[in-house]
Structure 1
Amino acid sequence: MLDALSNRYRRRLLVALLEHNPQEDDDPQVPDDVTSGNENLEELMVQMRHSHLPKLADAGFIEWDQEMNRIRKGPKFEEIRPLLELMANHSDELPDDWL
């Protein structure tokens, strides 16, 4: 779980899934909840597709349908939920780039 949460984009995606399931997008863009607006979006999309999404899918925290560009909670999402809720509930106490 800590490995999955070690990257801010993975943290943001997982926290976004607390309220929004599934995340769908016809246009290959990262949900607004995941980006802060300062990143190079094209580079971030490459990182998400080749690193972050596969890692979260392999851990079972998300299900990722690459063809439909759909992300939803995975079979192990409930295992990480308490940590995500703790972070979301105390986001004002965390560093600015944490969530």
Structure 2
Amino acid sequence: MSLDPEGGIEWAERWDRMFHALSAEPRRAIVISLSEAPAERRLPLPDAAETPNQAMDSETLSNQLRHHHLPLLADAGYVRWSSEPFCVQRGPAFDEAAFITEKVLESVEEIPQSLLDNCRVLPDLSRDGWD
């Protein structure tokens, strides 16, 4: 089976890019935080990327965000970010990443226990957010 040269490869690459972008917890946290905020709102960083599972200080997280996580999310079009002030907002393709995180959060009761073991986010997560 071959992919349609009229966009089939691009389609597959978009899915791969989305799953890669969501493969790290700070990036998932940013997408979820932005999903819970009004569409035009900017969120302060590193706050929007923090979760109870992370065991790093704010300065380390900020450096990782600036040099790795935010460029990856921005290159995919999921976010826009700035250094001064250090903040993030939805990008033009934000809905792609938000769709996947929303579906996972809606199905939290169906997630296999092996994915919940030692997780301090999902078992207590309500549809209202990280509370």
TM-score by length of 2: 0.62
Paired residues, number: 96
Q: C-alpha deviations, 1:39-68, integer Å up to 9, x for none?
A: 122222211111001110111100112222
Q: Which runs of 5+ in 1 are unaligned?
A: none
Percent identical among aligned pairs is 32
Following TM superposition, the consecutive aligned residue runs of length 4 or more in structure 1 with deviations greater than 2 angstroms are 21-25, 32-35, 90-95
Aligned to 1:68: 85
TM-score by length of 1: 0.78
Aligned to 2:4: none
Larger Rg belongs to: 2
Inter-CA distance 35–75: structure 2 relative to 1 (3 Å threshold)? same
Question: Which residue of 47, 53, 64 maps to 1:31?
Answer: 47
Inter-CA distance 58–38: structure 2 relative to 1 (3 Å threshold)? closer
CA distance in 2: counterparts of 1:37 and 1:80, whole angstroms: 21
Aligned to 1:48: 65
Inter-CA distance 55–77: structure 2 relative to 1 (3 Å threshold)? same
Aligned to 1:91: 108
Q: What displacement does 1:97 show? A: 5.6
Q: Which runs of 5+ in 2 are unaligned?
A: 1-17, 123-131
Q: What displacement does 1:98 show? A: 6.8
CA distance in 1: counterparts of 2:63 and 2:84, whole angstroms: 15
Inter-CA distance 32–11: structure 2 relative to 1 (3 Å threshold)? closer
Determine which structure has greater relative contact order: mean sequence separation of CA pairs < 8 Å that are 6+ residues apart, divided by chain length: 1
